[in-house]
Amino acid sequence: MDYFSFLETTAEISIAIAGFVSVFLVLARRDGSFPPEHALTIRSNLLSSVGCLYFAATPLVVAGLGLAGPALWRFSSAVFLLAHGGIAFYMAVNRRKLPSAVQGTVFARIAWVLATLALVCLVSNVAGWPLSPNPGVYLLAVWFTLGIASVNFLDLVLRGVLRVSE
């Protein structure tokens, strides 16, 4: 299986996660809104899963435009880095508005570690250090982003946010 096949499969998984969360949101919506800590986790989940779809599709589109080799992975990583960095900044600013008990949950910490690892991979690919830009590092960053969506989905399920009201 080549890297493009892995990216396509990853995009399909991210669509599935976004779809599950969307269906549950429609079914679980109780009083028209969710508490701020749940709303931020839901936003993080949707941003990560939909973002993962676009990040997985970026090299496919760029390759279709004729860019190949290390230039393809450097360009795709730069686009991913700008978008992922913006999302991380948005989440960090909004996270500070939450009570410290919510900020320090195990799931929140795991998500931040995964986001940091994705950023490290992207910076490494853009800088071309210690390896030249390559698809493996890019794919790892996409999987870390998918991991953020998965961790947030698990957090929502275990906290009982995504349950259908009776």
Q: From the centroid of its chain, how far is CA 131?
A: 24
Mean pLDDT across the stretch 97-112? 75
Position 76 scores a pLDDT of: 95
DSSP string, 53-113: HHHHHHHHHHHHTT--HHHHHHHHHHHHHHHHHHHHHHHHHHHTTS-HHHHT-HHHHHHHH
Q: Please, which pLDDT band fits residue 89 given cuts at 50, 70 and 90?
A: confident
Looking at the predicted structure, is the pLDDT value of residue 101 above 60?
no
Mean pLDDT across the stretch 88-95? 80
Position 153 scores a pLDDT of: 85
Q: What is the pLDDT of residues 11-57, one digit of tens each?
A: 999 999 888 888 777 776 655 667 777 777 888 888 889 999 999 99
